[in-house]
Structure 1
Amino acid sequence: MSSEEAVTEASAAKSVSDLTEGSEVVLADTEDPGGAQFYRTHQAQVARAVPHVPIADHVRLILSEPKNEVIVNFPVRMDDGRFKLFTGYRIQHNNILGPYKGGIRYHHDVTLEEVKALASVMSYKCALLEVPFGGAKGGIRLSPAQHSKRELESITRRFVHDLGNNIGPEYDIPAPDVGTNSQIMVWMMDTYMNTHNQIDKNAQKRIVTGKSLASGGSRGREKATGQGVVYCIQEWADERGVRLDGCNYILQGFGNVGSHAAQIMSRLGAVLVGVQDHTGSIYNPQGIYPRKLIDHVNKEGGIRGYAGAEEINNDDFWSIESDICIPAALELQITEEVAKKLTAKLVVEAANGPTTLKGEEVLKKRGIEVIPDVMANAGGVVVSYFEWIQNKRSESWQLEEVDSRLLFMMKRSYHEMRAFAREHGVDNRTAAFAVALNRLNAVYTERGVFP
């Protein structure tokens, strides 16, 4: 990408005003609430793709805001007998391609703007991967570790009850996200099944995806996002002639996505040399064994204290000598300062929105390639679609079939993104959004806008 084509702060702000007139864009790494900054960052990233596609004005207008914003406040009795009021969100960004689809996040920093950004990301992710879903996201502002299992079940069931008909197996299909898992999805499914049409009770299983196998989940769903991340890395390595066997990588976040990606990378011979999570950072130049670290995290709740590596300062984590960096935690982690420290040749965004605008500019200047979130972590929604289809057909696919279908869809979309990037001289993120915008624009152009 030439210096003339590089997006400056001024041109980025102008592009965003083209996408959604009057919206304010902050390009610096500011101290405003993370959700608000993430939302503006996402808007700016989408806007950079607009000049590269013949998108209609009315389509830009429609995509600039969610179609629906559902906010529910509901009381739940805690174990000590007290009642606590929770706020839950379900943002439905767009459904032109199919039913709304997106995760449910339980985290103490959940905000309306964060969920709006995540819902929008899902719309573009589904369009890029040609998954016939739209984009949605939901969440409750809470810390799961501070609640008992019984409390989490009560919170989940009351949330689903209060969402009512705002979700449905052919309308809006939730899935796991940060702070939620297959058990929470099963509670959501059971609550919905027991409060809706009893005649079609078993047909309601597809109301959520990411369920346990026993309750109608899909083989390969738990590792799907991490598997998709590795498929992208493999395609990048093949394209660049890079040998993954023996390459070093660092990983931020060791939850479901990060831990599965690490296990799969280890089978390819890649060496995990540094890990960071909410408890701290660890380093071992000889390699950290993912399986042993998973056992430690399951026992201790975090990576701190792991005997197979030395503890280091969180700031020093980003300076670890590595070939690949995989941020798999939360948004806005790779700031301008972090981007200056990275030694990796590639950043693979396993998390949603982990890179700030200023951080991305530094990465570009330093020649560090980025596989963006809408591409890198799309494996989760792809296999969620597979699970939904299996439930709809009363089928159960073998793992080999799930993995092969996932590989096909990830590989196809990765090379469509790369082809657009080469043809138009843009970065991967701009290319990914441009391909997605092209598809959304085509559908709106053919169908029109009712009435």
Structure 2
Amino acid sequence: MITKESPKMGMYENVQHQFNKAADIINLSPAVRKILSITNTEIVVHFPVKLDNGTVQVFTGYRVQHNNALGPYKGGLRYHPTVDIDAARALATWMTWKTSLAGLPYGGGKGGIQIDPNLYSDAELERITRRFTFALGDNIGPEHDIPAPDVNTTPQTMAWIADTFMSTRSTNERTKYSHVVTGKPVGAGGLEGRDRATGFGVVVGIQEWANHNNYELSGKKYILQGFGNVGYWASHFMRAKGAVLVGVQDASGSIYNSDGIDPESLFEFTERNNKCVAGYPGASPYPQADFFSLDCDILIPAAMGNQITAGNAHSIKALLVAEGANGPVDSDGSEILESRGIAVIPDIYCNSGGVIASYFEWLQNRNGELWSLEEVMEKLEKKMKKSYETMQSIANKYNTDLRTAAYIGALQRIEQAYIQRGIFP
């Protein structure tokens, strides 16, 4: 079942384990290794907000900036009770690897607020977001650190952040700061197709793996953990490939239909059912704890981190795990899957469609351009395909798994930047 990310589960330790494995293989420069093994900056802010009932509550927000050797920090802001400094460190570090592997001129950052947004009204969430933005101050900026949507944050959240940030600048300079965030509504400078970019990228990754392994996706059965933005769009594009969705799990429950679940019908149901899949009439309830053991060909975990562990990795029947979420498989789970011959398309590649699209939006805003949906999807697919070729080539060269290959590709690019530039002073 969907479990919460927690420091006890060693999320940051998992990141470090993966990093050290790849660094050992390529004999990463000791100096670069020391730099990349820690974060650059860790920001914790406490800020008061007046709620609708007149009471004041103090919230805690985080922004961790891991590394900016390749460019400004880039990464999402999430609103979730599990947000803490450990999770932010891990997620920021993953963003550094993700942007490097994708060939983007970015580093990695991540953060958010420790909050359950379901407990607050829209008006309260707006005040919380604006106050958080003000508290962060100059720690974010369009050429310094560029947040984006993540778990429980939306284009509307980004619009509030952009407006607040621009409002603190002089009138004649405000238009220069519209790209302080990405993932904005299209009418507020957002990118056409940004909503589907991550899910689309997951499916491009699956198709590239299938092409490399002479594997036909049409008719294959898959299960999906998480039916938010990433999960829905992944299922939308998997349907176009002829794959059959047979199981879905979210925090409300698990559902199963061996004959197939229509993603569009399920989406319409969740829109009427508080974003929950439980109760969907086109499928039967299924025990939460047994979800990963469902009979299927492909598993797409697109919810929270550390979902596949030593406790359930042995029960997975899929031939392929495509990581739509950040860190859904912990180190123990990864070793078990590898020993069982189950392929894993790693998160720093598989779900990078979102940050690639964010880069496109950032460029669009900086250059005063407007890109069509067709242009965006074509550019995104091309970049995802190129990244896969890089990752697969490294895997072949070092005779290693795709995750380690992805890390090697990311680390080599950053190492090269330090070698060429030197280390100040």
- Same fold by TM-score, threshold 0.5 exceeded? yes
Q: Does the CA contact (< 8 Å) of 1:59 and 1:441 recur in 2?
A: yes
Work out the CA distance in 2 between the residues paired with 1:120 and 1:98.
14
- From 308, 311, 332, give the equivalent of 2:285: 311
Q: CA deviation at 1:35?
A: 6.7
Q: Does the CA contact (< 8 Å) of 1:36 and 1:114 recur in 2?
A: no
SS at match of 2:194: coil
Residues 321-356 of structure 1, C-alpha deviation per residue, up to 9 Å, x if partnerless?
Answer: 111000000000001122111111100000000111
SS at match of 1:189: helix
Q: 1:416 and 2:354 equivalent?
A: no
- From 53, 66, 72, give the equivalent of 1:99: 72
Q: Does the CA contact (< 8 Å) of 1:35 and 1:111 recur in 2?
A: no
Match of 1:377 in 2: 351
Q: Does the CA contact (< 8 Å) of 2:46 and 2:61 recur in 1?
A: yes
Match of 1:334 in 2: 308
Q: 1:254 and 2:250 equivalent?
A: no
Q: Report the CA distance shift for 1:446/1:36 in structure 2 as closer, same or farther (over 3 A).
A: farther
TM-score (norm 1): 0.92
Q: 1:321 and 2:305 equivalent?
A: no
- From 232, 235, 238, give the equivalent of 2:211: 238
- List gaps (5 residues or longer) in structure 2: none
- From 307, 327, 334, give the equivalent of 1:360: 334
SS at match of 2:156: helix
TM-score (norm 2): 0.98
Percent identity (aligned): 48
Q: Report the CA distance shift for 1:203/1:187 in structure 2 as closer, same or farther (over 3 A).
A: same
Work out the CA distance in 1 between the residues paired with 2:287 and 2:413.
44
AA aligned to 1:400 is: E
Match of 1:122 in 2: 95
Work out the CA distance in 1 between the residues paired with 2:307 and 2:406.
21
Q: 1:288 and 2:261 equivalent?
A: yes
Match of 1:405 in 2: 379
Q: Does the CA contact (< 8 Å) of 1:53 and 1:437 recur in 2?
A: no
- List gaps (5 residues or longer) in structure 1: 1-30
Match of 1:268 in 2: 241
SS at match of 2:195: coil
Residues 96-124 of structure 1, C-alpha deviation per residue, up to 9 Å, x if partnerless?
Answer: 10111000000011110000000000001
Match of 1:448 in 2: 422
Match of 2:171 in 1: 198
Q: Does the CA contact (< 8 Å) of 2:9 and 2:306 recur in 1?
A: no
RMSD: 1.3
> Which range moved further: 352-361 or 178-187?
352-361
- From 318, 337, 346, give the equivalent of 1:344: 318
Q: Does the CA contact (< 8 Å) of 2:5 and 2:305 recur in 1?
A: no
Residues 134-163 of structure 1, C-alpha deviation per residue, up to 9 Å, x if partnerless?
Answer: 100011000011100000000000000010
Work out the CA distance in 2 between the residues paired with 1:217 and 1:286.
38
Match of 2:12 in 1: 39
Q: Does the CA contact (< 8 Å) of 2:5 and 2:87 recur in 1?
A: no
Runs of 4+ in structure 1 displaced over 2 angstroms? Answer: 31-36
Q: CA deviation at 1:246?
A: 0.8
Match of 1:161 in 2: 134
Q: CA deviation at 1:32?
A: 9.9
SS at match of 1:426: coil
Q: 1:56 and 2:65 equivalent?
A: no
SS at match of 1:437: helix
Work out the CA distance in 2 between the residues paired with 1:221 and 1:35.
34
Q: After superposition, where does 1:142-181 map in structure 2 within 5 Å?
A: 142-181=115-154
Work out the CA distance in 2 between the residues paired with 1:223 and 1:35.
33
> Which range moved further: 62-71 or 191-200?
191-200
Q: CA deviation at 1:396?
A: 0.8
Work out the CA distance in 1 between the residues paired with 2:115 and 2:95.
22
Would you say how many aligned residue pairs link Structure 1 and Structure 2? 422
Q: 1:428 and 2:422 equivalent?
A: no
SS at match of 1:325: strand
AA aligned to 2:386 is: R
AA aligned to 1:120 is: T
AA aligned to 2:407 is: F
